A = this chain, B = another copy of it.
Protein backbone atom coordinates (compact mmCIF):
# COMPACT_ATOMS: atom_id res chain seq x y z
CA UNK A 1 0.00 0.00 0.00
CA UNK A 2 1.32 3.44 -0.94
CA UNK A 3 0.75 6.51 1.22
CA UNK A 4 1.03 10.17 0.25
CA UNK A 5 3.26 12.07 2.73
CA UNK A 6 4.00 15.73 1.99
CA UNK A 7 3.92 15.42 -1.78
CA UNK A 8 5.55 11.99 -2.11
CA UNK A 9 4.12 8.50 -2.52
CA UNK A 10 5.90 6.12 -0.13
CA UNK A 11 5.34 2.53 0.97
CA UNK A 12 3.30 2.16 4.15
CA UNK A 13 6.35 1.10 6.22
CA UNK A 14 8.16 4.29 5.23
CA UNK A 15 5.19 6.60 5.87
CA UNK A 16 6.42 8.38 8.97
CA UNK A 17 6.39 11.74 10.70
CA UNK A 18 8.72 13.28 13.24
CA UNK A 19 8.02 12.48 16.90
CA UNK A 20 8.07 16.29 17.26
CA UNK A 21 5.19 16.74 14.84
CA UNK A 22 2.53 18.60 16.80
CA UNK A 23 -0.03 16.18 15.45
CA UNK A 24 1.66 13.45 17.49
CA UNK A 25 2.47 15.64 20.51
CA UNK A 26 -0.84 17.44 20.94
CA UNK A 27 -3.41 16.19 18.42
CA UNK A 28 -2.80 19.50 16.64
CA UNK A 29 -4.39 18.76 13.29
CA UNK A 30 -7.53 17.78 11.42
CA UNK A 31 -8.71 15.17 8.96
CA UNK A 32 -11.41 14.07 6.55
CA UNK A 33 -12.52 10.58 5.65
CA UNK A 34 -14.20 10.20 2.26
CA UNK A 35 -15.89 7.28 0.59
CA UNK A 36 -14.66 6.21 -2.83
CA UNK A 37 -17.26 4.58 -5.11
CA UNK A 38 -16.21 3.31 -8.54
CA UNK A 39 -12.87 5.08 -8.11
CA UNK A 40 -14.58 8.43 -7.59
CA UNK A 41 -14.45 10.64 -4.48
CA UNK A 42 -17.97 10.93 -3.09
CA UNK A 43 -19.10 14.36 -1.79
CA UNK A 44 -15.65 15.80 -2.50
CA UNK A 45 -16.79 19.44 -2.50
CA UNK A 46 -18.62 19.04 0.81
CA UNK A 47 -15.63 17.42 2.51
CA UNK A 48 -13.34 20.10 1.13
CA UNK A 49 -15.51 22.89 2.56
CA UNK A 50 -15.22 21.34 6.03
CA UNK A 51 -11.49 20.69 5.58
CA UNK A 52 -10.88 24.33 4.63
CA UNK A 53 -13.06 25.70 7.43
CA UNK A 54 -11.25 23.49 9.95
CA UNK A 55 -7.84 24.56 8.68
CA UNK A 56 -8.86 28.21 8.97
CA UNK A 57 -10.16 27.68 12.52
CA UNK A 58 -6.92 25.98 13.54
CA UNK A 59 -4.80 28.52 11.69
CA UNK A 60 -3.04 25.89 9.57
CA UNK A 61 -2.42 26.67 5.91
CA UNK A 62 -2.91 23.51 3.81
CA UNK A 63 0.15 22.95 1.61
CA UNK A 64 -2.12 22.28 -1.38
CA UNK A 65 -5.16 24.05 -2.75
CA UNK A 66 -8.36 22.23 -3.69
CA UNK A 67 -7.42 21.29 -7.26
CA UNK A 68 -3.95 20.02 -6.41
CA UNK A 69 -5.29 18.12 -3.40
CA UNK A 70 -7.93 16.36 -5.46
CA UNK A 71 -5.34 15.46 -8.08
CA UNK A 72 -3.07 14.02 -5.36
CA UNK A 73 -5.97 12.04 -3.89
CA UNK A 74 -6.93 10.61 -7.30
CA UNK A 75 -3.28 9.77 -8.04
CA UNK A 76 -3.12 7.84 -4.75
CA UNK A 77 -6.31 5.92 -5.59
CA UNK A 78 -4.90 4.97 -8.99
CA UNK A 79 -1.50 4.02 -7.56
CA UNK A 80 -3.20 1.67 -5.12
CA UNK A 81 -5.77 0.41 -7.62
CA UNK A 82 -8.66 1.44 -5.36
CA UNK A 83 -12.21 1.59 -6.68
CA UNK A 84 -14.15 0.87 -3.46
CA UNK A 85 -12.29 2.35 -0.51
CA UNK A 86 -12.05 5.03 2.15
CA UNK A 87 -9.71 7.94 1.52
CA UNK A 88 -8.30 9.66 4.58
CA UNK A 89 -6.74 13.15 4.36
CA UNK A 90 -4.84 14.35 7.42
CA UNK A 91 -3.33 17.78 8.00
CA UNK A 92 -1.22 18.52 11.06
CA UNK A 93 0.57 21.70 12.08
CA UNK A 94 3.94 20.00 11.66
CA UNK A 95 7.04 20.42 13.80
CA UNK A 96 7.17 23.43 16.10
CA UNK A 97 8.60 24.38 19.46
CA UNK A 98 7.82 22.47 22.64
CA UNK A 99 4.64 23.72 24.31
CA UNK A 100 1.08 24.46 23.26
CA UNK A 101 1.74 27.71 21.43
CA UNK A 102 1.53 27.10 17.68
CA UNK A 103 4.08 29.85 16.98
CA UNK A 104 7.02 28.78 14.87
CA UNK A 105 5.32 25.76 13.27
CA UNK A 106 5.32 26.82 9.63
CA UNK A 107 5.44 23.58 7.65
CA UNK A 108 2.26 21.55 8.01
CA UNK A 109 2.24 17.80 7.43
CA UNK A 110 -0.15 16.37 4.83
CA UNK A 111 -0.92 12.66 4.72
CA UNK A 112 -3.32 10.94 2.30
CA UNK A 113 -4.04 7.25 2.80
CA UNK A 114 -6.45 4.62 1.51
CA UNK A 115 -8.24 2.08 3.67
CA UNK A 116 -10.61 -0.80 3.05
CA UNK A 117 -14.31 -0.09 3.45
CA UNK A 118 -15.02 -1.35 6.95
CA UNK A 119 -17.50 -4.16 7.42
CA UNK A 120 -20.27 -2.11 8.94
CA UNK A 121 -21.31 -4.61 11.58
CA UNK A 122 -19.95 -7.80 13.02
CA UNK A 123 -21.09 -11.09 11.48
CA UNK A 124 -24.71 -11.44 10.41
CA UNK A 125 -25.92 -8.60 12.59
CA UNK A 126 -28.17 -6.20 10.66
CA UNK A 127 -28.94 -3.52 13.23
CA UNK A 128 -26.43 -1.46 15.17
CA UNK A 129 -26.28 -1.50 18.94
CA UNK A 130 -25.30 1.76 20.62
CA UNK A 131 -24.69 2.96 24.15
CA UNK A 132 -24.91 6.47 25.58
CA UNK A 133 -21.40 7.44 26.68
CA UNK A 134 -20.76 8.58 30.23
CA UNK A 135 -18.61 11.42 28.83
CA UNK A 136 -20.36 14.72 28.22
CA UNK A 137 -19.59 17.24 25.51
CA UNK A 138 -18.95 20.79 26.77
CA UNK A 139 -20.88 23.75 25.39
CA UNK A 140 -17.85 26.03 25.25
CA UNK A 141 -15.75 23.94 22.90
CA UNK A 142 -14.89 26.07 19.85
CA UNK A 143 -13.75 22.91 18.05
CA UNK A 144 -17.03 20.97 18.19
CA UNK A 145 -17.88 21.55 14.54
CA UNK A 146 -14.38 20.72 13.24
CA UNK A 147 -13.13 17.27 12.37
CA UNK A 148 -9.98 17.78 14.39
CA UNK A 149 -7.36 15.33 15.61
CA UNK A 150 -7.73 15.79 19.40
CA UNK A 151 -10.22 12.97 19.73
CA UNK A 152 -9.31 11.13 22.90
CA UNK A 153 -12.73 11.73 24.42
CA UNK A 154 -14.28 9.91 21.44
CA UNK A 155 -11.68 7.16 21.66
CA UNK A 156 -12.73 6.53 25.26
CA UNK A 157 -16.41 6.68 24.33
CA UNK A 158 -15.81 4.07 21.62
CA UNK A 159 -13.96 1.95 24.18
CA UNK A 160 -17.12 2.13 26.34
CA UNK A 161 -19.11 0.83 23.37
CA UNK A 162 -16.55 -1.93 22.75
CA UNK A 163 -16.71 -2.98 26.40
CA UNK A 164 -20.52 -3.19 26.21
CA UNK A 165 -20.40 -5.22 23.00
CA UNK A 166 -21.96 -2.29 21.15
CA UNK A 167 -21.04 -0.84 17.75
CA UNK A 168 -21.01 2.87 18.53
CA UNK A 169 -21.47 5.33 21.39
CA UNK A 170 -23.76 8.34 21.43
CA UNK A 171 -22.52 11.57 23.02
CA UNK A 172 -24.72 13.98 24.95
CA UNK A 173 -24.04 17.44 26.30
CA UNK A 174 -24.39 18.39 29.96
CA UNK A 175 -28.07 19.20 29.44
CA UNK A 176 -28.62 15.59 28.37
CA UNK A 177 -29.21 16.37 24.71
CA UNK A 178 -27.76 13.70 22.47
CA UNK A 179 -25.69 15.48 19.85
CA UNK A 180 -24.09 12.76 17.73
CA UNK A 181 -22.27 9.44 17.79
CA UNK A 182 -18.48 9.37 18.10
CA UNK A 183 -18.08 9.28 14.31
CA UNK A 184 -21.58 9.58 12.88
CA UNK A 185 -24.63 11.83 12.94
CA UNK A 186 -27.90 10.74 14.52
CA UNK A 187 -31.37 10.71 12.92
CA UNK A 188 -34.72 9.48 14.19
CA UNK A 189 -38.27 9.31 12.93
CA UNK A 190 -41.27 10.60 14.81
CA UNK A 191 -44.79 10.80 13.38
CA UNK A 192 -43.50 10.58 9.82
CA UNK A 193 -40.98 13.38 10.34
CA UNK A 194 -37.23 12.89 10.07
CA UNK A 195 -35.39 14.50 12.99
CA UNK A 196 -31.73 15.25 13.65
CA UNK A 197 -29.92 17.49 16.17
CA UNK A 198 -29.41 21.09 14.97
CA UNK A 199 -26.22 22.43 13.39
CA UNK A 200 -25.65 25.00 16.11
CA UNK A 201 -21.88 24.67 16.28
CA UNK A 202 -21.96 21.84 18.79
CA UNK A 203 -22.03 18.94 16.30
CA UNK A 204 -20.04 17.94 13.26
CA UNK A 205 -21.76 19.04 10.03
CA UNK A 206 -21.74 15.61 8.41
CA UNK A 207 -21.58 15.39 4.64
CA UNK A 208 -23.82 12.31 4.60
CA UNK A 209 -26.13 14.10 7.08
CA UNK A 210 -26.66 16.94 4.59
CA UNK A 211 -27.32 14.52 1.73
CA UNK A 212 -29.83 12.51 3.78
CA UNK A 213 -31.76 15.68 4.66
CA UNK A 214 -31.88 16.54 0.95
CA UNK A 215 -32.99 13.04 -0.07
CA UNK A 216 -35.67 12.98 2.66
CA UNK A 217 -37.11 16.25 1.40
CA UNK A 218 -37.22 14.87 -2.15
CA UNK A 219 -39.08 11.77 -0.89
CA UNK A 220 -41.66 13.91 0.89
CA UNK A 221 -40.37 13.01 4.36
CA UNK A 222 -40.14 16.38 6.11
CA UNK A 223 -36.72 16.84 7.76
CA UNK A 224 -36.53 18.85 10.98
CA UNK A 225 -33.73 19.84 13.37
CA UNK A 226 -34.55 19.22 17.03
CA UNK A 227 -32.89 18.39 20.33
CA UNK A 228 -33.42 14.93 21.73
CA UNK A 229 -32.73 13.09 24.96
CA UNK A 230 -32.14 9.41 25.53
CA UNK A 231 -35.88 8.81 26.11
CA UNK A 232 -36.69 10.55 22.83
CA UNK A 233 -34.54 8.14 20.83
CA UNK A 234 -35.93 5.15 22.70
CA UNK A 235 -39.50 6.32 22.05
CA UNK A 236 -38.89 7.17 18.38
CA UNK A 237 -40.42 5.15 15.56
CA UNK A 238 -36.95 4.39 14.21
CA UNK A 239 -33.39 5.74 14.37
CA UNK A 240 -30.20 5.53 12.34
CA UNK A 241 -26.67 6.86 12.07
CA UNK A 242 -24.92 8.38 9.06
CA UNK A 243 -21.29 8.86 8.04
CA UNK A 244 -19.17 8.53 4.94
CA UNK A 245 -17.97 5.13 6.15
CA UNK A 246 -21.15 3.53 7.47
CA UNK A 247 -23.51 5.32 5.04
CA UNK A 248 -26.99 4.85 6.64
CA UNK A 249 -26.92 2.42 9.55
CA UNK A 250 -30.16 1.49 11.27
CA UNK A 251 -30.15 1.31 15.07
CA UNK A 252 -31.50 -1.76 16.82
CA UNK A 253 -30.68 -1.04 20.45
CA UNK A 254 -29.75 1.85 22.74
CA UNK A 255 -28.29 0.82 26.09
CA UNK A 256 -29.81 -2.62 25.61
CA UNK A 257 -33.33 -1.31 24.93
CA UNK A 258 -34.84 -2.40 21.65
CA UNK A 259 -35.69 0.43 19.24
CA UNK A 260 -38.62 0.51 16.81
CA UNK A 261 -37.99 0.21 13.07
CA UNK A 262 -39.52 2.51 10.52
CA UNK A 263 -40.42 1.72 6.91
CA UNK A 264 -39.28 5.25 6.15
CA UNK A 265 -35.71 4.13 6.81
CA UNK A 266 -35.94 1.55 4.05
CA UNK A 267 -37.20 4.18 1.60
CA UNK A 268 -34.45 6.62 2.57
CA UNK A 269 -31.74 4.01 2.32
CA UNK A 270 -32.97 2.93 -1.10
CA UNK A 271 -32.83 6.55 -2.25
CA UNK A 272 -29.28 6.85 -0.89
CA UNK A 273 -28.18 3.67 -2.65
CA UNK A 274 -29.73 4.87 -5.90
CA UNK A 275 -27.87 8.14 -5.56
CA UNK A 276 -24.58 6.34 -4.96
CA UNK A 277 -25.23 3.92 -7.85
CA UNK A 278 -25.55 6.79 -10.28
CA UNK A 279 -22.55 8.58 -8.78
CA UNK A 280 -20.35 5.49 -9.08
CA UNK A 281 -21.26 5.23 -12.77
CA UNK A 282 -20.02 8.74 -13.32
CA UNK A 283 -23.47 10.23 -13.79
CA UNK A 284 -24.19 13.77 -12.69
CA UNK A 285 -25.97 13.60 -9.34
CA UNK A 286 -25.58 17.27 -8.54
CA UNK A 287 -22.13 17.12 -6.95
Contact = CB atoms under 8 A, between A and B. Distances in A.
Given A19-B16, A138-B138, A138-B141, A26 B153 contact: no
Contacts of A101: 155, 158-159, 161-162
Given A118-B99, A143-B156, A149-B152, A3 B19 contact: yes
A159 B26 CA distance: 14
A59 B138 contact: no
B141 A139 contact: no
A250 interface: no
16 contacts: A3-B19, A16-B16, A26-B27, A26-B152, A27-B152, A28-B151, A86-B98, A93-B155, A99-B118, A100-B158, A134-B142, A135-B142, A139-B174, A140-B173, A149-B150, A150-B150
A140 B142 contact: no
A102 B158 contact: yes
Given A88-B98, A150-B151, A174-B138, A25 B31 contact: yes
A144 to B, nearest CB: 10
Secondary structure of the A contact surface, majority rule = mixed
A30 to B, nearest CB: 9
A154 interface: yes
| A contact residues, range | 35 or more
Interface string A27-46: 11101010000000000000
B162 A103 contact: yes
A33 to B, nearest CB: 8
A58 B141 contact: no
B162 A152 contact: no
Nearest to A183: B100
A20 B183 CA distance: 18
A241 B42 CA distance: 49
B136 A141 contact: yes
Contacts of A28: 151-152, 155
A33 B157 CA distance: 27
B151 A141 contact: no
Given A155-B26, A158-B100, A162-B101, A139 B136 contact: yes
A185 to B, nearest CB: 15
A98 to B, nearest CB: 5
A21, A29, A152, A157 pick with most chain B CB within 10 angstroms? A152
Contacts of A111: 19
A22 B156 CA distance: 13
Contacts of A100: 151, 154-155, 157-158, 182-183
A102 to B, nearest CB: 5
